[in-house]
A = this chain, B = another copy of it.
């Protein structure tokens, strides 16, 4: 774990590109199928929906969540042809959440493009989010499997609770690591976990396989959100497609900050708090803050926690025999740690 962590700053660029190529090779046909299915259910009679849903759905998303469902199903022996269709539920759900969250957070950029609510207005963003959520549930219902429906309903409920929880804690300097972990579990990990779980359910997998994939998805999701939160302090804006420091400007304290605040001496804690509380902080202030995050180990600690989750995600796949699908899922886990966007 420590070895991975040490290696990251130097090698992660090459590693990210290599892993990405490996993953894409493993899901090439699936990606094509998912894109086709995603477009299929945007009823053309609603021009506005097609446009706004298209704005968020077809703006360079990685399709990670539907691919996780498809790969999980395949790993459990699924050989039918409904996987891409069912998998759209997870991208619709994800897109619905992004639409509402960007509005709630006042986010202005998403994947390098203006956020939908800034282009089409809050009204349209709210209603299109509702439409995509309803679409996701309609897809769930078409599986005819109550366990799948329950899983997807449970995801929507937990995600909504996580978002509310996050809103409640907005701007609070007192948020703890435990509270942070619960928020990212709800807002990110349950969707990853649910996608993997539904993949296993579609394949009618045995309990050990279901449990293994569920664990894999959970830990992958936790790590994914941690690296996402890290990118807000470490990324290249051009590659990330949104501004760094955005979380702080929205009043969101994430693990790098929470940890550093807990370790800093009183004067440095005060310096950090002053910068954080001023949501109009300058570029210079932001640099100072990043230096303090590094000095007090906030960046390194978050990497370690992410790496530890990835380690556990990979371990969870050991119940499956080796093979190309397991390799792809392992590559996804490694990629989550080294990605640049």
Q: Give the contacts of A134-168 with B (CB-CB under 8 A).
A: 134-135, 137-138, 140-141, 144, 146, 149-150, 153-154, 156-157, 159-161, 163-165, 167-168
Chain B, residue nearest A165 (CB)? B46
- Whether B126 and A100, one on each chain, are in contact in the complex, defined by CB atoms closer than 8 angstroms, is yes
Number of identical monomers bound together in the oligomeric complex: 2
Q: Give the contacts of A226-269 with B (CB-CB under 8 A).
A: none
Q: A48-B168, A164-B46 are in contact. Are A141 and B130 (CB under 8 A)?
A: no
How many residues belonging to A are interface residues under a CB distance threshold of 8 Å? 40
Q: Give the contacts of A72-131 with B (CB-CB under 8 A).
A: 100, 103-104, 122-124, 126-131
- Whether A48 and B164, one on each chain, are in contact in the complex, defined by CB atoms closer than 8 angstroms, is yes
Most buried by B among A103, A130, A150, A157: A130
Q: Is A49 an interface residue (CB 8 A)?
A: yes
Bound-state Cα–Cα, A146 to B148, Å: 11
- Whether B128 and A126, one on each chain, are in contact in the complex, defined by CB atoms closer than 8 angstroms, is no
- Whether A156 and B134, one on each chain, are in contact in the complex, defined by CB atoms closer than 8 angstroms, is yes
- Whether B167 and A124, one on each chain, are in contact in the complex, defined by CB atoms closer than 8 angstroms, is yes
Contacts of A161 in B (CB 8 A): 43, 46, 49, 131
Bound-state Cα–Cα, A15 to B307, Å: 70
Partner of A154, one of B103, B126, B130, B138: B138
Instruction: Give per-residue flags for A160-180: 1 if the beta carbon is below 8 A from chain B beta carbons, else 0.
Output: 110111011000000000000
Could you tell me the distance in whole angstroms from the C-beta of A53 to the nearest C-beta in chain B? 10
- Whether A167 and B103, one on each chain, are in contact in the complex, defined by CB atoms closer than 8 angstroms, is no
Q: Is A293 an interface residue (CB 8 A)?
A: no
Bound-state Cα–Cα, A129 to B167, Å: 14
- Whether A127 and B167, one on each chain, are in contact in the complex, defined by CB atoms closer than 8 angstroms, is yes
- Whether B164 and A138, one on each chain, are in contact in the complex, defined by CB atoms closer than 8 angstroms, is no
- Whether A167 and B48, one on each chain, are in contact in the complex, defined by CB atoms closer than 8 angstroms, is yes
Q: Is A69 an interface residue (CB 8 A)?
A: no
- Whether A163 and B103, one on each chain, are in contact in the complex, defined by CB atoms closer than 8 angstroms, is no
Q: A138-B154, A156-B134, A168-B48 are in contact. Are A127 and B149 (CB under 8 A)?
A: no
Q: Is A70 an interface residue (CB 8 A)?
A: no
- Whether B164 and A127, one on each chain, are in contact in the complex, defined by CB atoms closer than 8 angstroms, is yes
- Whether B141 and A144, one on each chain, are in contact in the complex, defined by CB atoms closer than 8 angstroms, is no
23 residue pairs from A and B, CB less than 8 Å apart: A46-B165, A46-B168, A48-B167, A48-B168, A49-B161, A49-B164, A100-B126, A103-B126, A104-B126, A104-B127, A124-B167, A126-B129, A127-B160, A127-B163, A129-B130, A131-B157, A131-B160, A131-B161, A133-B160, A134-B153, A134-B157, A134-B160, A138-B157
List residues of A whose CB falls within 8 A of some B CB. 43, 46-49, 100, 103-104, 122-124, 126-131, 133-135, 137-138, 140-141, 144, 146, 149-150, 153-154, 156-157, 159-161, 163-165, 167-168
